[in-house]
Amino acid sequence: SQVQSKCEDRSLVIQVESMEVPQFEAIDENGSQILKEPLAARCGYTIISNKMATSTTLRASFFSCYTHNQNDVKFTFRFNVRLRTSKGIWETQSISTLCFGPKWAHREVVCEEDYMEATVSDLDSTGLMLYVLFLIQVQSSTKATWQLMFLQGDGHKTFMSIQEAESLGYIVTSSAHRVVLRTDQRSPHAKVMMVHGVPVEVIQVSVVFRRLQMVVLLDLTMRVCWFSDSGEFNGAWLLWDVPWVMLPLVDESAVFESQYVGIRVDGEFLDQNNATSKGLRLVHSGDLVLIAVPFRAEGGYRKSWVVNNTYKEEFGISLLYEHDFSLTYDGSRRINIKHRLLRVLATPPLCHPPFKTLDNDVAFHILLGNIPSDVVLEEVWINKKQVMSGHNSNTIVLVFQYLGGGVVQYSAHLKFTLTIIPQRESYYHHTFVSSRVTNTFPPQIMAQCLHQGICFTIVQASPSLSLWEVGVDHEPLTFELVAQRGYKLHNDSHRMTLEVPIYSIGYRYDDINLFNFYGTFELLLRDSRTLQVQASTSKRCLFKTEDMTVCSSDGTITVITGTKSTRPTVQLKKLHLLDPDCRPKQLDESRALFEFRVNTCGTRPMVGESYVVYENEVIHDRQLITDGPNLISRDSQFNINLQTFSDCFLSG
C-alpha cells in the first residue's frame, strides 16, 4: 500500500509513497499533535522527503514524546497520516503499531539527522541504589528539584532548571528505567571539538538531583554530530571518517573495549568482515574508522538535475554507523554504551552525462546507460529525423561522405531528450559521431566503343554500400530509364553492362562531317545522398556518318541528308532550309550536311506538353518553267521535315 510501517530495533519507520508531502499527526491518550519543526525534532521524530520527491519517511524514536512506553519493552505508536488527494481532499490513514524494544545498553546516544538523543539507565554510575532514588525522584517530586548541568569548554559548569532547559529546546523525560535527554542540533551548549582531526559537536550535560544529602549525577553527554557537510567525495568514493574512541563519551579513567562496529545501509547490517560484499569499505585504522562508499553503490539514491542545460547527477546514501563498546571502571564496574550516527553522504551535483559513444567500422554504438530512475528518455533525433518517441523506434539514416582514396566518412548528429521526473525538466543532449571507413571505393566504370553504340561496364566494389548512384545526366540509371530510352542493361551480382546505342538520348555529337562523327556518352557517379557528382566516365567514339538529324549541346542542329533515291537526281547545291539563305555546309555527290542553330534558318519551335519540337524543312528549289496555265518542273519534288527534340539541349 501507499503507507507502510516497520519496527526497527530503536525506531519505527513509516514510509509514504506519494509526490505530495504527507502530514503526520502523533496521537496519544490526550489527543493528537501535528508533527512540525521544531517540535518534531525535539520530540524524537525525523521526517525526510526523499531526494526524488516520491516518498516521505517518518522515523520515530522509541522514546519519542507521544509514544506509549511500557517498561521500556513495549512501545505503542499511533499516527494519522494525512495526504491531500489530487482533488484537494485530505485523506487520513491511521497507523497503530506495537514495537518491542531491544536489549538496551546502559547508555545510548544517537545522532539523528535533526536531533540528538541520549538515554541512560539507572545502573550507569551508582548501581541499584541510584535506581531507587531516581524512581522516587521522578514520580514524587516536581522536576524543579532536577537540574541540568552543562560542562562548558573551559571547564565551567552551568546549572539550569528543567523548565529553563526546555525553553532552550532540551527535552528531559524519564521512562521506567531510563532518563531521556533530547535536543535539536541548534543547541547553544554544543561545542565543536576536533577528535583525531574530525570535527564533532559535543554537548556535555548531566542530570543532577539531590536526595538525602546526596548529589546524583547522570552523565548524558552527547557527542555528536557532524556539521552540515555531506562527506567528502574523491571522485570515486564517498568518504566518512569516524573517531574510533568517542571522547568525551569515553571517560579517560575507564578501560575502553569495543564490541561491535558496523554500518547499516538500506536495512542491511555490515561489519568490517562483510562490508566489501556490498562494495563498501569499513576499516578500523588507528584512531579512526574509515568508511567509504563507491559512487552509485547499491542502496543509495541518484538525483538528476538540469542546470543551464547541463545534466548533473547527485549520488547519496543514508548510513547508520553503530559502535557498541564498554567502559570498565575500577576494574569491575562495567557499563555498555551504544553510539549511533545517522548520516546522509552525498556527492555534489556532478556532470555525469549518461552517454558514451563507441566507434567501430561497422556501426555506431551509442550507449545511453546508467540512467537514474528519475529520468526518462523521451525522444531521439538522428540527423534531424525523429527516430524514437515514446517507445516507437524508426530506421536511422546516417550521413556519409566520400573523402576520396576509398575513405567514406559516416556521421550523425544525435539529439536526446531526457526528462527528469517528477519536475518534468528536460535536458537535451547533443552529440556528433563520425567514423571513417576505408577500402570503400566507388564503382569502377569502363567503356568501350561498339559499331553502333558505346558499352559501359560498371563494377561494384562494395555491393552492400549504396553510397553512389550511377546516372545519365540528372537521371539515375534505373530499369525504367533504360527501357524508356532504349538502352540495354545486363546486371549480375557485382557487374552491370550498359549498352547505349548511338542516337539514343544522352549522346553528344561533335566533329560531324559527311564521313564520320564523334558521339560522346557520359555516366555520372553521384553521392546518392547529396546528389553531388563524385566522378564521371565519358567515352567518345567515332561513328560512320549516315542520314541523321542530331543536335549538339550548344543548340546546333546538324542534318545529313542523302538524295540517292530521288529521280531525277536532286541537285544538292540547290537544297536549302526554310530560310533560303541556309544552304548546305558540306556536300558530296549524294549527301548534304546542314548545320544551323535552333533559333536560325526559319526553325519553328513547337511547344508540347513537356518538350519542344524544332521544325524545319530541307527544300529543293525547282526550276519552274511556264507552260500555259501550269507550272512544270523537271526537278524532283523534295521536301524533308526535320524534327528535333528539345531533349537534345538538356545536356548542355
Binding site for ligand NAG (CB under 6 A): 28-30, 268-271, 274, 277, 307-308, 477, 479, 491, 493
The minimum distance between CB 264 and ligand NAG, in angstroms, equals 10
Q: Which is nearer to ligand NAG, 223 or 340 (CB)?
A: 340
For residue 276 the three cell numbers come to: 566489501
Least separation in angstroms between residue 477's CB and ligand NAG is 6
In the chain, the amino acid numbered 491 is: N
Unique residue bearing C-alpha cell 541510584: 130
Nearer to ligand NAG, 104 or 456 (CB): 456
Question: Which residues partner with 315 through β-bridges?
Answer: 302
Rounded least distance, CB 9 to ligand NAG, Å: 12
Q: Identify the bridge partners of residue 448 per DSSP, sorted by sequence position.
A: 455
Shortest distance in whole angstroms from residue 407 CB to ligand NAG: 24
In this complex, which beta carbon is closest to ligand NAG, that of residue 537 or of residue 552? 537
Please identify, using beta-carbon distances, which residue of 420 and 477 lies nearer to ligand NAG: 477
- Helix H or strand E encompassing 98: strand 90-100
Cα–Cα distance measured from residue 116 to residue 106, given in angstroms and rounded to the nearest whole number: 17
Alpha-carbon distance of 165 to 42, in angstroms, equals 12
Shortest distance (Å) from residue 640 CB to ligand NAG? 38
State the minimum distance, in angstroms, from the CB of residue 493 to ligand NAG: 6
Tell the smallest beta-carbon distance from residue 19 to ligand NAG (Å).
Answer: 25
- The closest of 368, 341, 312, 400 to 110, measured between CA atoms, is 341
Give the residue among 249, 245, 317 at the shortest CA–CA distance from 279: 317
DSSP label of 273? T
Closer to ligand NAG by CB, 71 or 277: give it.
277
Nearest-approach distance from CB 309 to ligand NAG, in angstroms: 9
Closest to ligand NAG by CB, 28 or 617 = 28
Q: How far is the CB of 478 from ligand NAG (least distance, A)?
A: 6
Which is nearer to ligand NAG, 341 or 477 (by Cβ)?
Answer: 477
Return the number of the residue (309 or 530) whose C-beta is nearest ligand NAG. 309
Q: Peptide bond preceding 568: is omega within 30 degrees of 0, i.e. cis?
A: yes
Scanning 325-398, the segments in alpha helix (DSSP H) are none
* DSSP letter (8 states) at residue 151: E
Tell me how far apart the alpha carbons of residues 143 and 442 are, in angstroms, rounded to a whole number. 98
Grid cell locating 6: 516497520
- List of E strands, 422-502: 425-437, 444-450, 453-459, 468-472, 475-476, 488-491, 495-501
Closest approach, Cβ 563 to ligand NAG, in A, equals: 43
Residues 6+ apart with CB under 8 A from 319: 240, 263, 264, 265, 291, 293, 342, 343, 344, 345
- Closer to ligand NAG by Cβ: residue 307 or 403: 307
Residue 521 phi/psi, 5° resolution? Answer: -130, 140
CB of 269 to ligand NAG, least distance (A): 4
- Residue 419 CA to chain centroid, in angstroms? 9
Give me the long-range contacts of 297-302 (CB less than 8 A, separation at least 24).
297/265, 298/265, 298/266, 299/265, 299/266, 299/268, 301/50, 301/51, 301/52, 302/372, 302/373, 302/374
Beta strands of 225-278 (E only): which ranges? 232-233, 237-243, 255-265, 268-271
In this complex, which beta carbon is closest to ligand NAG, that of residue 279 or of residue 652? 279
Q: With respect to ligand NAG, which residue has the nearer C-beta, 178 or 591?
A: 178
CB of residue 186 to ligand NAG, shortest distance in Å: 25
The CA–CA distances, whole Å, from 300 to 51, 237, 278 equal: 11, 13, 12
Residue 278 Cβ vs ligand NAG, minimum distance, rounded to whole Å? 6
Is residue 460 within 8 A of residue 477, CB to CB? The reply is no
DSSP class of residue 181 equals E
* Burial zone of 134 (CB within 10 Å; 0-12 exposed, 13-18 middle, 19+ buried): buried
Place of cell 516497520: 6
Of the pair 433, 489, the CB lying nearest ligand NAG is at: 489
Closest CB to ligand NAG among residues 170, 594 = 170
